[in-house]
Structure 1
Amino acid sequence: MLRIFDTLTGHRRLVLTENDRAILTRKGRTVDMLGAGEHRIKRDDVVEQHKLTSAIFSGGNVDALLRDAPDLAAKHLVELRTDANEVAVVMREGRLFTALAPDSRMHLWADAGPFDVTRHDVAADVRVPDDLAKRLMRARLTSLMTAAEVAEGHVGVMTLDGANPTVLASGAHMFWNAGARVAVKHVDMRLRSHDVTGHEILTRDRVTLRVNLAADFRVVDPVTAVTKVRDFEEALHRALGLAFRRTLGALTLDALLADKVAVDAEAADAVRAEMATLGVEVGAIALKDVILPGEMRDILTAVVAAEKEAEANVIRRREETNATRSLLNTAKVMAENPVMLRLKELEALEVIAGKVERLTVHNGTAGLLGDVAKLRD
């Protein structure tokens, strides 16, 4: 009966559940927002239905709704707005729901709430609080964040729009990407070694040679090391090369080869002083290798060989002189002491007996010793 009556009067029935909402438009104007229940509307009314499960009002006529029915909009919708330097984090019934970027607007169904909104000024602090960052990551709401991970033993030098450098400790850091442009440069704070290989130097006596250098260093002021030079390791490389070029270039080849340790100590002070102004502490510096050109290496090899041969000749002459002097002393002792002579004769006899298979002695040892003595005479 009601259906027939509605048909005759130009009406129809609309049934909405607890999870449904509807916007009623008549002749292009919003006249009502309907909740759960049965509603009697005119046949020509336009109904736009929405589900509260999405919570976000996604109707295309929100501006018309706010203009034509501001009281209805205030009753059924929650409007969120952010300014140019603000991020809004929306909680729904104690759980993270969404995040709103700067200069944005969002409308939520009031009946889908309650909603709690936390606002963050990205101009004042671009960092995302740690607990909030973890919740946003678990909820996969990371579109407004950027991450920077600093490894153990390193620090990060963070700049905002290329200025105001600050130091970040090792670990994970999250930043709002809706504010200033964040750049993080990683700096290794551990003790390291830097090698300069094949550096060519002209000595004072105009000999071209190549040297290999090594220096231990570590960064003590990361902000200075990053901001004062483009690459502090390249600056260390250049400082080592120039310092050793000046020091070694003032020496002759013989002086350089005679005392490399003194050369290291002399050049190291200049390098340490220069790198200290760049926030880098330089430790031990070593001149590891001196590489001569081929022809010079052959000449030096010949010189060393001649020197060693001369030393060997001197040693041989000295030993020969010592041996002759020892023989002369022995002869003098034997001439003055016949018993010593007889003992030497017995030693000679022992040596001869050891080299023959059989030795026959006639007339006793006195005759044998007499014959040996005759041989001596």
Structure 2
Amino acid sequence: MIFLDKILGRKRVLVKENERLVALHKGTILGIFGPGQQVLPNRRNSLDVFRYDLTSPVFASVYEKALFEKLPEVAEYHLTVFRTGVGEVAVIERDGAIYAILGPSQKLAVWTEAGPWKEMRVDTAQELAVDPVLARRLVLARKLEFLVNHAVLEGQVGLLFVDGTYVRTLEPGMHAFWNVGKALQVKIVDLKRQSLDVAGQELLTKDRVTIRVNISADYRVVDPVKAVGSVKDFADTLYRALQLAFRRTLGTMTLDQILERRVSINAEAAEKVREDMMAIGVEIADIELKDVILPGDMREILNQVVAAEKQAEANVIRRREETNATRSLLNTAKVMAEHPVMLRLKELEALEAIAGKVDNLTIHNGTSGLMNDLVKLRDI
């Protein structure tokens, strides 16, 4: 048999079940051959064979074009070609599992017998969003080269911009998009109430005293599209608005007025800030002048003033009490002068108080003599 094959100028080639063979005779495509023993012409070793394992289903060969041009029926029987247009994406499935993703203007040739194959084509010019179920399958298959995911948390919204143009607002959840041929951006905006602090803001009062103030504001975004589209950074805009408003308000007041009217200052300065920020979709809840910080020398002066004021108040209270005490003594003296018995009773009270502090008492001339010498009551 081998001798006969040599005489006839042929060669027997065994092709396994999981293989396919591309044969060329004298540089010309003979065809694609399946499993079994194939008898092929081979005069003067003019046969070239190329084996392909179906476990690697992609057909990558320099003879692909020649096959489809010279043997189109054979090529179409053995090979499946997927091709995408401009702006298209194709999801290729093999036996129910995602095998590959083709971007715009790409091609993939596979062995048909390695399938079954299925194609899902998407026109990204019409819709960039990826179905959530498909997005999860792509993530699990780790086919992410043309996919971009964005997570929007509870209390937030996402603003979708395509090529710099606002498209729509994304609600909380996971959002997937085809990232092909267009610049895609998602701007996350927090809708919850937030606090902004302006710390250590220096300004000059009307009486030329340099002070530092701490300001706090609570705000929330009510129109995210306007807030993002009107200014570069709405939080920075609010920060500067608070600075300017309080600088203008406090700069027209003296230090004493600022310290006395902190609540009214908040109302005066806050109104302008609220109007300006509402115009860009930001609602201001509370604005508070938290602290007024004075220079060290000014604090000492004010402490001295406060100490002097408190000392003066203490002196007034002390004199008032002394006057009241003197007036009380005068009234008591008048009562005793008009009623001698009251005077004697006071003397007895004093004697009782003295006796309570004496340990030993020596009495001369008896108790009657003691009482007669110390207390002499007149007949009333």
Shorter-chain-normalised TM-score: which range?
Answer: over 0.9
Q: Deviations over 1:182-210 (max 9, x none)?
A: 11222222222111111112222222211
Alignment partner, residue 115 of structure 2: 113
Q: Quickly say closer, same or farther: Cα 1:367–1:155, change in 2 above 3 A.
A: farther
CA distance in 2, matches of 1:187, 1:256: 36
CA distance in 1, matches of 2:351, 2:23: 143
Return the TM-score normalized by structure 1: 0.93
Alignment partner, residue 186 of structure 2: 184
CA distance in 2, matches of 1:319, 1:81: 105
CA distance in 2, matches of 1:259, 1:369: 71
Identity across matched positions, percent: 51
Please say if residues 126 and 179 of structure 1, whose CA atoms lie closer than 8 Å, have aligned partners that are also in contact. no
Alignment partner, residue 76 of structure 2: 74
Alignment partner, residue 42 of structure 1: 41
Alignment partner, residue 246 of structure 2: 244
Report the AA paired with residue 32 of structure 2: M
- Structure 2's unaligned 5+ residue stretches are none
CA distance in 2, matches of 1:164, 1:108: 40
Q: Deviations over 1:153-207 (max 9, x none)?
A: 3332221111124322333322212242211222222222111111112222222
Return the TM-score normalized by structure 2: 0.92
Alignment partner, residue 8 of structure 1: 7
Q: Quickly say closer, same or farther: Cα 1:346–1:47, change in 2 above 3 A.
A: same
Query: Any residues of structure 2 matched to 1:183-262 within 5 Å, and which?
Result: 183-262=185-264
CA distance in 1, matches of 2:374, 2:169: 100
CA distance in 1, matches of 2:367, 2:164: 111
Q: Quickly say closer, same or farther: Cα 1:367–1:262, change in 2 above 3 A.
A: farther
CA distance in 1, matches of 2:155, 2:225: 16
SS at structure 1 position matched to 2:241: helix
Q: Point out the more displaced range, 249-258 or 154-163.
A: 154-163
CA distance in 1, matches of 2:86, 2:367: 128
Report the AA paired with residue 219 of structure 1: V
Two-structure CA RMSD over aligned residues (Å): 1.9
SS at structure 2 position matched to 1:346: helix
Alignment partner, residue 148 of structure 1: 150
Please say if residues 159 and 166 of structure 2, whose CA atoms lie closer than 8 Å, have aligned partners that are also in contact. no
Q: Quickly say closer, same or farther: Cα 1:336–1:364, change in 2 above 3 A.
A: farther
Please say if residues 150 and 171 of structure 1, whose CA atoms lie closer than 8 Å, have aligned partners that are also in contact. yes
Shift, 1:135, TM fit: 0.9
**Does structure 1 residue 268 correspond to structure 2 residue 235?**
no
SS at structure 1 position matched to 2:301: helix
CA distance in 1, matches of 2:369, 2:39: 162
Shift, 1:12, TM fit: 0.8
CA distance in 1, matches of 2:159, 2:74: 52
Alignment partner, residue 294 of structure 2: 292
Q: Deviations over 1:244-289 (max 9, x none)?
A: 1111112121111112111111111111111112221111111111
Q: Point out the more displaced range, 352-361 or 307-316.
A: 352-361
Shift, 1:345, TM fit: 1.7
Please say if residues 31 and 67 of structure 2, whose CA atoms lie closer than 8 Å, have aligned partners that are also in contact. no
Alignment partner, residue 19 of structure 1: 18
CA distance in 2, matches of 1:262, 1:84: 64
Report the AA paired with residue 141 of structure 2: A
Alignment partner, residue 29 of structure 2: 30
Shift, 1:372, TM fit: 4.1
Report the AA paired with residue 217 of structure 2: A
CA distance in 2, matches of 1:191, 1:370: 90
SS at structure 1 position matched to 2:61: coil
SS at structure 2 position matched to 1:322: helix
Report the AA paired with residue 4 of structure 2: F
Report the AA paired with residue 95 of structure 1: A
CA distance in 1, matches of 2:58, 2:268: 74
Q: Quickly say closer, same or farther: Cα 1:348–1:232, change in 2 above 3 A.
A: same
Alignment partner, residue 61 of structure 2: 59
Q: Quickly say closer, same or farther: Cα 1:369–1:205, change in 2 above 3 A.
A: farther
CA distance in 2, matches of 1:370, 1:195: 85
Report the AA paired with residue 34 of structure 1: F
Q: Deviations over 1:3-26 (max 9, x none)?
A: 221111110101112211111222
Alignment partner, residue 306 of structure 2: 304
Report the AA paired with residue 276 of structure 2: E
- Structure 1's unaligned 5+ residue stretches are none
**Does structure 1 residue 94 correspond to structure 2 residue 93?**
no
Report the AA paired with residue 14 of structure 2: V
Count of equivalent residues: 373
CA distance in 2, matches of 1:364, 1:263: 83
CA distance in 1, matches of 2:125, 2:290: 53
Alignment partner, residue 169 of structure 1: 171
Please say if residues 59 and 110 of structure 2, whose CA atoms lie closer than 8 Å, have aligned partners that are also in contact. yes
SS at structure 2 position matched to 1:358: coil
Shift, 1:354, TM fit: 2.2
Report the AA paired with residue 288 of structure 1: K
CA distance in 2, matches of 1:14, 1:130: 50
Alignment partner, residue 281 of structure 1: 283
Please say if residues 200 and 209 of structure 1, whose CA atoms lie closer than 8 Å, have aligned partners that are also in contact. yes
SS at structure 1 position matched to 2:5: helix
